[in-house]
């Protein structure tokens, strides 16, 4: 893994999120776990070489951030927001996270590199075994939470938008914040079913922190200036779809004509999903902007 500071380690080159850990004077705090089984076990072994794992923090419920929890059983208390706990590996009509995680093992883009994990097939549990204990129980909180471990402070800040239970982990002693998917650095942003207005407010909250380094959910480690770039990407998407509605475009027309594939690559190992992201982003925004508000919200 890459050394960001004397205490912080991450990797931005594996398929999935940027899993990270912080080595303190009283053990290790893991922030997001790898999606791929062999990577999860390798990261656990490396992290434990710095001391016992005290906590495993999940920044969101999307499978690329939480599936590796299964391989961290017994390695520390799981900590996440209530919104993550409630959605942890839940099968929805549009996505079965367990099946999606399995499909990532041998990917078309990987071909035996760090972008896929064919050896992970031998480590794969069957569905019933997995769901008996996916390793999601521990400390579940609402709002914010502060944890002290050794010589480090971990401020878990509720930053909803990309997902309802999204958190950023601010470590003031390292002048670093781990944002999860509130920031996609230098790569395509997945809107999914996000709330863009909440997301922008969360970016503003992160921007107010005293940090030098930003460890994003995807893409290279960056600095606080990149927050403005992420903010502009969200506004660009929302404006484009709002303009499409103003022109009277249907959902199908909007999906076909609103496209930001020229704004950068998809994160490592998922280049073949570019068209899917454009379609999903435009379609989900169209649905949100045309939705009838609930009674009393008008």
pLDDT tens, residue by residue, 247-277: 999 999 999 999 999 999 999 888 889 999 9
79-103 residue pLDDT tens: 999 999 999 999 988 889 999 999 8
**How far is Cα 82 from Cα 85, in angstroms, rounded to an integer?**
5
Structure confidence by residue, pLDDT tens digits, 100-122: 999 888 765 555 555 678 889 99
Beta strands in the chain, from DSSP E residues, in sequence order: 2-3, 8-10, 20-24, 27-31, 53-57, 77-81, 138-141, 145-149, 152-158, 167-171, 176-184, 213-218
Is residue 296, in this structure, part of any structural domain at all?
no
Strands 77-81 and 138-141: parallel
Whether residue 72 is contained in a domain is answered as yes
Q: Measure the CA–CA gap between 273 and 266, rounded to whole angstroms.
A: 7
pLDDT at 268: 87
241 and 131, same domain (yes or no): no
- The answer to whether residue 204 is domain-embedded is yes
What is the average pLDDT value for the chain, to the nearest integer? 94
The C-alpha atoms of residue 22 and residue 52 are separated, in whole angstroms, by 11
Residue 41 maps to which CATH number? 3.60.15.10
Residues 221 and 242 in one domain: no
> Is the domain of 172 the same as that of 265?
no
pLDDT band at residue 284 using 50, 70 and 90 as cut-offs: very high
DSSP 7: S
- 241-251 confidence digits (pLDDT tens): 999 999 999 99
Let me know if residue 297 belongs to a domain: no
Look at the chain and report how many structural domains it folds into.
2
Dist. CA 191–CA 68, nearest whole Å: 23
Answer yes or no: is 207 within a domain: yes
- Statement to judge: residues 70 and 210 lie in one domain: yes
pTM for the full predicted model: 0.94
Residues 159 and 270 occupy one common structural domain: no
- Which position has the token pair 């367990």? 98
Enclosing domain of residue 275: 235-290
Domain assignment of residue 140, yes or no: yes
Contacts of 233 (CB under 8 A, 6+ apart): 184, 189, 260, 263
Question: Does 225 share its domain with 239?
Answer: no
pLDDT at 298 over 50: no
């Amino acid at each position: 893994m890459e050394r960001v500071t004397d205490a912080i380690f991450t990797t931005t080159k594996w398929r999935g999120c940027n899993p990270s850990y912080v080595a303190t004077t009283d053990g290790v705090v893991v922030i997001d776990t790898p999606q791929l089984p062999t990577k999860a076990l390798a990261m656990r072994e490396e992290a434990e070489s710095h001391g016992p794992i005290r906590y495993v923090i999940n920044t969101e419920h999307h499978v690329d951030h939480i599936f590796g929890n299964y391989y961290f059983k017994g390695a520390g208390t799981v900590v996440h927001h209530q919104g993550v706990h409630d959605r942890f590996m839940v099968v929805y009509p549009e996505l079965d996270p367990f099946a999606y995680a399995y499909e990532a093992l041998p990917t078309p883009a990987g071909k035996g590199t760090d972008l896929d994990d064919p050896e992970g097939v031998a480590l794969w549990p069957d569905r019933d075994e997995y769901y008996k204990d996916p390793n999601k129980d521990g400390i579940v909180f609402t709002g914010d939470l502060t944890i002290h471990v050794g010589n480090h402070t971990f401020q878990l800040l509720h930053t909803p938008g990309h997902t309802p239970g999204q958190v950023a982990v601010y470590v003031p002693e390292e002048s670093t914040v781990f944002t999860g998917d509130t920031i996609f650095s230098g790569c395509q942003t997945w809107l999914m079913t996000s709330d863009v207005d909440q997301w922008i407010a969360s970016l503003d909250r992160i921007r107010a922190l005293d940090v030098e380094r930003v460890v994003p959910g995807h893409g290279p480690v960056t600095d606080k200036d990149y927050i403005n770039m992420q903010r502009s990407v969200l506004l660009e998407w929302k404006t484009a779809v709002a303009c499409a509605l103003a022109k009277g475009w249907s959902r199908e027309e909007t999906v076909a004509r609103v496209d930001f594939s020229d704004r950068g690559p998809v994160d490592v190992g998922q280049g073949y999903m570019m068209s899917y992201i454009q379609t999903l982003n435009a379609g989900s925004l169209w649905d949100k902007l045309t939705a009838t508000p609930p009674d009393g919200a008008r």
